[in-house]
Structure 1
Amino acid sequence: MRWEEDRSSVKGEPDVSFQRRAAQALAVTGAVTLAVSGPAVAAAADSSTWAETSTGAVSVMSVAQPTPSVTWAAGAKVVTPDDGTVAFTPTLYERDLGKGGTWRQLPLAGADAWNSRINDIATNPDGSAFFVGDQGAGDQGVLVGRYAAGSWKLTADRTLPAGTVSGSLLSVSSVSGQDAWAVGQGYTRDTFAQVPVVQHWDGRQWRSVRIPGSDDWGLYQVDEVAPDDVWVAGTDYATGQSLAVHWDGQRWKRTATPAFPDSSVLFDIAARTPSDVWAVGWSRDTDKQRPAGLALHWNGTSWAQVPLPAGTFALQALTLRPRGGLAVVGGNDDAAVGLAWSPAAGWSSLGLPENDPQLPLGVSSVVSSGAHLTVGAWHYVSSDGGDSFASGAVLTR
């Protein structure tokens, strides 16, 4: 599985790619005691059956649930012009159990004018929602969608740090239509050095925010629990180690995460309380090692590594499940990885389907509603020259 989603270049600028992951809110109710040492094993796969819906040329990047009966699946239609480049058209699907439960594509006025993915969606109790995407050519800005009064409006955020090109907002999180955060990265126009991007929505406009000391950081995920409780996760390029940074309404503070001999990264972070935070990604002990799955838990004071079943590879995303549980998804070169965790039973396999050995499954995102799960996915063709996108999919059960 390729852990990067290629992005077509702006004319006159080099090709770039961004690692991305999608996130959904995670809440763990009550006090949870975690075993942080000793071997971990995964129980047999859950007996529930997965249903797969093909999205054709649309690669699904993010899934979200604005209500218990409505699910959104967002990403981009992959377009391959005659010149051999790859372009994207932002695309959004909806499934409403109250209207038959079939997936339908939602209209996005103006989407054809954007060469962008929808990288992440955030929903709010007040019925509002946001999605974020990629930077367009020239002064087009970064694609941002805002949902209000039953419809989506596509807008452009033009407030990225001066001189930023080929930027992407990879994650968005919000508590209402008046307060949202988004993170990602771009490059400087002159030197093509990486630029971390942090954006804040105050109900009227997006503003660029700088986290002190973040010049060499890659930012992949944000989770806003409250206006004075915001987490950002990613990697520190200077050290090769993962990072988790917290905003308390007054200042940003980096919290120490476990260090590994070679490198590590966090792709998803989510929290419900100041003493109940989860993060997932991967780690390596040697340069040539395949990325090993990484799960961390914050107890309000420090991060602890939570053992995963032997052989678990890189993890991309996590979501809340009932009774204090969670689900995580990721993958390796051979198969997608899906695991459920509960305080009582530990880890068990989600039994993600591999229906066609010629078209392996990749997964990007997961969201839970009660006992039901939705996973954003795609199929790809693997060859000696690398992996290439074949078709998108949404998995439900």
Structure 2
Amino acid sequence: MNIQQAKARFGIIGNCPKLETAINVSLQVAPTDISILVVGESGTGKENIPKIIHQNSQRKHNPYISVNCGAIPEGTIDSELFGHEKGSFTGAHDNRKGYFESAHEGTIFLDEVGELPIASQARLLRVLENGEIIKVGSSKTQKVNVRIIAATNVNLPEAVKKGEFREDLYYRLNTISINLPALRKRGDDISLLFKKFAGDFSEKYNTPPIKLSEEALEVILKYPWPGNIRQLRNFVAQLSIIEKERLISLNKVRNVLPKIDNNEIIKFHDESKAELSEREILYKVLFDMKKDLNELKKVTYNLIQKEGNTEILQSLNTTIFNKQGKEEKVILKQEKIPQTINIEESLSLFEHEKRLIQKSLLKHKGKRKNAASELGISERTLYRKLKEFGL
């Protein structure tokens, strides 16, 4: 099979040199059994590469199993991948084969391999090094003969530096790396893909295919397509279904495409940064609420002064509105015990988050599962945070 035959067989559209290089490398490594790491942004079509490799290998008549590691819950991923013994956990009523055992003599494609928990990474490393699996609840090793092809849209070298991905596993997976280019780097392939999708939807919905005006075509060629081929396909589907006019104008394209800053750089998705951004927004809201509360206090105090209610004025300490160093002290005079409320402003987001995790772990006596549930995060995220904070 050559490059053109592979493109025709697996429905790959485009003549970009980088795309053809990726297909060519796939065909060259197919007869071997070495591990392959497919790298590229989400939506670039990484799932086609392992299919090309499997169908051109000596294993093509044996099982091909595709697994999305990011879609399997952390608590069950070992059971799904490596199988389990009867009675190994609640609900394990029978022995179960895992994906690796089911793919014996064939190929297994591990998509989003960067999402694997550290414990599962150690099990995967055993398969790569010794060709062995251990089922959940068993102490016996079992030999499997499986070719492993992995894919990720995560920057694995960076994940290795952060301690989120095992370095030894990275090097074992990365024997050969195949890089798929982002759609924005494929030039005229964008217009070819548009025509292909327009034809597909025309046939599906029994309507004439949509076409782009010259100005509209120029816009989609320059658009960065952060969602890559998947986003382009959805874009064509939306226009094909909604628009009555089959010639799509510039204005219609601009109305449908999400606005993106031309200077924006598309990077690997970093989940930890997304979480931090959410926390920053949360704390900003809290501090804004505190500011509004102080304003309300001032208005209330001024109204009391105007009305001349001396009894209420005498019961309040006017320093309630004055900042004292890094804290605000609110003192309400009562007949017996004065109550002091300290509003802390000096703690950083890092310290706030660390303190919340410490309190939750203390409350649940070190049980990470319960603490993660209370904090509204996954166990995997909590584990990463514990390492980050040195807890």
* Structure with larger RCO (C-alpha < 8 A, sep 6+): 1
TM-score (norm 1): 0.21
TM-score (norm 2): 0.21
Return the structure number with greater strand share: 1
Structure number with greater Rg is 2
Return the structure number with greater helix share: 2
